[in-house]
Amino acid sequence: MKLLFKQRMFSWFDSYDIYYENGATAYTVKGQLSWGHCLKIFDARGAEVGTVRERVLTLLPQFEVYAGDRYLGAIRKEFSLFTPRYDIGFLGWQVEGSFLEWDYTVRSAAGQTVAVVSKELFHWTDTYVIDVANPADALPALMLVLAIDAEKCSRN
């Protein structure tokens, strides 16, 4: 299952539209005014389904992930020299990325591919394709991509 992740061009806060391959809206993400990034995720009907919130005053970037009001865990950037590494504490997933952090693969603890994320170049705003192996992993994969994108935005 593929999701197309597009950042909105004219928005005061981080705002994204996520579409299925057929063009139907899968999720809408709206940034909120807060200390650090706070991204609320809504399904196609407008119901809030998740939140990605940056923890501030940490040595390396860290994001808390919620499904509704339920805390799932944290996504932490790990220290690495040449390739990005993230610890996804609540799923046991690992991220293997490229030097530029535009393309990466998410793998389960057993080494199976969970999702492949690639950035499409030559667009006015950030545009990613998230290819998820199991549709049940779509929301957690989206949360991971949002956290990584927010971390890169904070760094730049």
Residue-wise pLDDT for 86-123, tens only, equals 778 778 888 887 756 678 899 998 999 999 999 877 65
Instruction: Taking residues 135-140, report their average pLDDT.
Output: 93
pTM of the predicted model as reported, rounded to 2 decimal places: 0.84
DSSP 27-74: EEEEE--SSS-EEEEEETTS-EEEEEEEEPS-SS-EEEEEETTEEEEE
| Confidence band of 11 (pLDDT split at 50, 70, 90) | very low
Going by C-alpha positions, the residue among 19, 22, 20 that lies closest to residue 6 is 19
At 71-86, the pLDDT tens digits run 998 988 877 776 667 7
Instruction: Taking residues 123-147, report their average pLDDT.
Output: 87
